[in-house]
Structure 1
Amino acid sequence: MPIDPFRHSRGPADAPIVVVEYADFQCPYCARAAPVLHEFAETSEGQVRLVFRHFPVFDIHPYALTAALAAEAAGLQHRFWEMHDLLFARQDRLADKFLHSYAVSLGIDADRVVGD
Protein backbone atom coordinates (compact mmCIF):
# COMPACT_ATOMS: atom_id res chain seq x y z
CA MET A 1 0.00 0.00 0.00
CA PRO A 2 1.48 3.41 -0.94
CA ILE A 3 2.09 5.94 1.82
CA ASP A 4 -0.09 9.03 1.72
CA PRO A 5 2.32 11.96 1.20
CA PHE A 6 -0.01 14.20 3.21
CA ARG A 7 -0.71 11.84 6.12
CA HIS A 8 0.58 14.24 8.77
CA SER A 9 -1.05 17.47 7.74
CA ARG A 10 -3.13 20.32 9.09
CA GLY A 11 -5.40 22.36 6.89
CA PRO A 12 -7.74 21.52 4.03
CA ALA A 13 -6.71 18.92 1.46
CA ASP A 14 -7.53 21.33 -1.36
CA ALA A 15 -5.60 24.32 0.02
CA PRO A 16 -3.80 26.17 -2.77
CA ILE A 17 -0.65 26.56 -0.64
CA VAL A 18 1.14 23.55 0.84
CA VAL A 19 3.95 24.15 3.32
CA VAL A 20 6.13 21.12 3.99
CA GLU A 21 8.03 21.27 7.27
CA TYR A 22 11.03 19.00 7.84
CA ALA A 23 11.72 18.86 11.56
CA ASP A 24 13.60 17.17 14.37
CA PHE A 25 11.78 16.86 17.70
CA GLN A 26 14.96 17.66 19.64
CA CYS A 27 15.85 20.76 17.61
CA PRO A 28 15.14 24.00 19.53
CA TYR A 29 14.59 25.94 16.30
CA CYS A 30 12.04 23.40 15.10
CA ALA A 31 10.24 23.64 18.45
CA ARG A 32 10.00 27.41 18.08
CA ALA A 33 8.77 27.16 14.48
CA ALA A 34 6.08 24.52 15.12
CA PRO A 35 3.45 26.73 16.84
CA VAL A 36 4.06 29.53 14.34
CA LEU A 37 3.48 27.19 11.41
CA HIS A 38 0.41 25.70 13.10
CA GLU A 39 -1.06 29.17 13.64
CA PHE A 40 -0.21 30.13 10.05
CA ALA A 41 -2.18 27.15 8.74
CA GLU A 42 -5.06 27.66 11.18
CA THR A 43 -5.52 31.36 10.44
CA SER A 44 -5.14 31.12 6.66
CA GLU A 45 -8.88 30.72 6.07
CA GLY A 46 -8.34 27.44 4.26
CA GLN A 47 -5.55 28.71 2.03
CA VAL A 48 -2.69 26.77 3.65
CA ARG A 49 -2.05 23.13 4.37
CA LEU A 50 0.88 22.28 6.65
CA VAL A 51 2.56 18.91 6.06
CA PHE A 52 5.01 17.48 8.60
CA ARG A 53 8.02 15.38 7.65
CA HIS A 54 10.53 13.83 10.03
CA PHE A 55 14.16 14.89 9.73
CA PRO A 56 15.86 13.55 12.87
CA VAL A 57 19.47 14.70 13.05
CA PHE A 58 20.41 11.85 15.34
CA ASP A 59 24.16 12.45 15.23
CA ILE A 60 23.54 15.76 17.04
CA HIS A 61 20.26 14.96 18.81
CA PRO A 62 20.44 11.48 20.38
CA TYR A 63 16.69 11.26 21.11
CA ALA A 64 15.41 12.64 17.79
CA LEU A 65 15.01 9.28 16.07
CA THR A 66 13.16 7.58 18.95
CA ALA A 67 10.95 10.65 19.29
CA ALA A 68 10.10 10.46 15.57
CA LEU A 69 9.32 6.76 15.91
CA ALA A 70 7.12 7.49 18.95
CA ALA A 71 5.21 10.11 16.95
CA GLU A 72 4.69 7.62 14.13
CA ALA A 73 3.47 4.98 16.57
CA ALA A 74 1.10 7.53 18.08
CA GLY A 75 -0.06 8.36 14.56
CA LEU A 76 -1.01 4.73 14.01
CA GLN A 77 -3.29 5.23 17.01
CA HIS A 78 -4.69 8.51 15.55
CA ARG A 79 -2.75 10.75 17.95
CA PHE A 80 0.11 12.03 15.81
CA TRP A 81 -0.50 15.74 16.33
CA GLU A 82 -1.08 15.38 20.05
CA MET A 83 2.23 13.52 20.39
CA HIS A 84 3.91 16.03 18.04
CA ASP A 85 2.88 18.90 20.28
CA LEU A 86 3.97 17.08 23.46
CA LEU A 87 7.37 16.20 22.03
CA PHE A 88 8.12 19.77 21.07
CA ALA A 89 6.79 21.15 24.34
CA ARG A 90 8.95 18.73 26.34
CA GLN A 91 11.91 18.27 24.05
CA ASP A 92 14.33 18.20 26.96
CA ARG A 93 12.61 15.00 28.14
CA LEU A 94 12.61 12.53 25.21
CA ALA A 95 14.05 9.38 26.78
CA ASP A 96 11.93 6.23 26.53
CA LYS A 97 10.51 6.60 30.06
CA PHE A 98 9.12 10.01 29.11
CA LEU A 99 7.79 8.83 25.74
CA HIS A 100 6.01 6.04 27.57
CA SER A 101 4.37 8.49 29.99
CA TYR A 102 3.34 10.79 27.12
CA ALA A 103 1.60 7.85 25.43
CA VAL A 104 -0.22 7.00 28.67
CA SER A 105 -1.30 10.64 29.03
CA LEU A 106 -2.73 10.51 25.50
CA GLY A 107 -4.62 7.32 26.26
CA ILE A 108 -2.80 5.20 23.72
CA ASP A 109 -0.93 1.91 23.99
CA ALA A 110 2.43 2.94 25.42
CA ASP A 111 4.02 -0.40 24.59
CA ARG A 112 3.44 0.35 20.90
CA VAL A 113 5.03 3.78 21.27
CA VAL A 114 8.20 2.70 23.07
CA GLY A 115 10.09 -0.49 22.32
CA ASP A 116 11.17 -2.47 19.30
Structure 2
Amino acid sequence: MKRSSIPSILLMLSLGAALLVADDVGAILLPSQDKGVADQVAMAAPRPWKCCDVTICTRSIPPTCSCQDVVDNCAPTCEDCNGYVHPPRRVCLDRYTGDPGPRCTGAGTGGN
Protein backbone atom coordinates (compact mmCIF):
# COMPACT_ATOMS: atom_id res chain seq x y z
CA MET A 1 0.00 0.00 0.00
CA LYS A 2 1.42 3.33 -1.07
CA ARG A 3 1.16 6.29 1.31
CA SER A 4 0.55 9.81 0.04
CA SER A 5 2.61 12.72 1.35
CA ILE A 6 0.01 15.33 0.36
CA PRO A 7 -1.72 15.46 3.81
CA SER A 8 1.65 16.02 5.51
CA ILE A 9 2.57 18.82 3.11
CA LEU A 10 -0.83 20.49 3.59
CA LEU A 11 -0.44 20.30 7.35
CA MET A 12 3.00 21.95 7.24
CA LEU A 13 1.74 24.71 4.94
CA SER A 14 -1.26 25.41 7.18
CA LEU A 15 0.99 25.59 10.27
CA GLY A 16 3.27 28.05 8.47
CA ALA A 17 0.29 30.21 7.51
CA ALA A 18 -0.97 30.08 11.12
CA LEU A 19 2.42 31.32 12.36
CA LEU A 20 2.34 34.24 9.92
CA VAL A 21 -1.15 35.21 11.07
CA ALA A 22 -0.12 34.89 14.74
CA ASP A 23 2.81 37.28 14.14
CA ASP A 24 0.42 39.88 12.70
CA VAL A 25 -2.09 39.54 15.53
CA GLY A 26 0.46 39.59 18.36
CA ALA A 27 1.42 37.27 21.14
CA ILE A 28 -1.07 35.63 23.45
CA LEU A 29 -0.97 37.45 26.79
CA LEU A 30 -1.75 36.14 30.23
CA PRO A 31 -4.22 38.22 32.28
CA SER A 32 -1.32 39.50 34.38
CA GLN A 33 0.40 40.74 31.20
CA ASP A 34 -2.65 42.48 29.73
CA LYS A 35 -2.22 46.26 29.78
CA GLY A 36 -5.92 46.77 30.59
CA VAL A 37 -5.66 44.61 33.70
CA ALA A 38 -2.47 46.38 34.81
CA ASP A 39 -4.25 49.74 34.50
CA GLN A 40 -7.17 48.45 36.57
CA VAL A 41 -4.85 47.18 39.29
CA ALA A 42 -2.97 50.48 39.38
CA MET A 43 -6.27 52.36 39.69
CA ALA A 44 -7.55 50.17 42.54
CA ALA A 45 -8.15 51.91 45.86
CA PRO A 46 -5.62 51.32 48.62
CA ARG A 47 -6.49 48.95 51.45
CA PRO A 48 -8.32 50.91 54.22
CA TRP A 49 -6.10 49.35 56.91
CA LYS A 50 -2.34 48.89 57.27
CA CYS A 51 -2.66 45.50 58.95
CA CYS A 52 -5.44 43.34 60.36
CA ASP A 53 -5.67 40.43 62.80
CA VAL A 54 -9.35 39.53 62.27
CA THR A 55 -10.14 39.47 58.56
CA ILE A 56 -13.35 38.13 57.08
CA CYS A 57 -13.06 37.37 53.36
CA THR A 58 -15.33 35.88 50.72
CA ARG A 59 -14.15 32.82 48.84
CA SER A 60 -14.35 34.64 45.52
CA ILE A 61 -11.34 35.39 43.34
CA PRO A 62 -10.26 38.03 44.13
CA PRO A 63 -11.65 37.93 47.67
CA THR A 64 -13.63 40.79 49.20
CA CYS A 65 -12.45 41.35 52.76
CA SER A 66 -13.32 43.36 55.83
CA CYS A 67 -11.20 43.91 58.92
CA GLN A 68 -13.03 43.29 62.19
CA ASP A 69 -10.27 44.51 64.54
CA VAL A 70 -11.66 46.58 67.42
CA VAL A 71 -9.45 49.68 67.78
CA ASP A 72 -9.35 53.02 69.60
CA ASN A 73 -9.35 54.99 66.33
CA CYS A 74 -9.83 53.88 62.74
CA ALA A 75 -7.13 54.48 60.16
CA PRO A 76 -7.41 57.80 58.30
CA THR A 77 -8.19 55.88 55.09
CA CYS A 78 -11.27 54.23 56.66
CA GLU A 79 -14.47 55.71 55.23
CA ASP A 80 -17.01 53.95 57.49
CA CYS A 81 -15.72 53.92 61.07
CA ASN A 82 -18.37 52.45 63.39
CA GLY A 83 -18.25 53.35 67.08
CA TYR A 84 -21.49 51.58 67.98
CA VAL A 85 -20.02 48.08 68.07
CA HIS A 86 -17.92 48.34 71.25
CA PRO A 87 -18.18 51.92 72.58
CA PRO A 88 -15.85 53.75 72.96
CA ARG A 89 -13.85 51.48 70.61
CA ARG A 90 -14.39 51.30 66.87
CA VAL A 91 -14.41 48.94 63.88
CA CYS A 92 -13.74 50.01 60.28
CA LEU A 93 -16.63 48.63 58.20
CA ASP A 94 -14.96 49.27 54.82
CA ARG A 95 -14.70 46.34 52.41
CA TYR A 96 -11.67 45.77 50.22
CA THR A 97 -11.39 43.61 47.10
CA GLY A 98 -8.03 41.84 47.04
CA ASP A 99 -5.43 40.55 49.46
CA PRO A 100 -6.36 41.53 53.06
CA GLY A 101 -2.73 42.38 53.81
CA PRO A 102 -0.43 41.48 56.68
CA ARG A 103 -1.42 40.62 60.21
CA CYS A 104 -0.63 43.16 62.90
CA THR A 105 2.18 42.45 65.33
CA GLY A 106 0.85 41.10 68.63
CA ALA A 107 -2.41 39.25 67.92
CA GLY A 108 -5.49 41.01 69.22
CA THR A 109 -3.93 44.45 69.52
CA GLY A 110 -5.62 45.70 66.36
CA GLY A 111 -3.90 47.98 63.95
CA ASN A 112 -6.78 49.11 61.87
TM-score by length of 1: 0.22
Q: Which has the higher strand share?
A: 2
**Max radius of gyration: which structure?**
2
TM-score by length of 2: 0.22
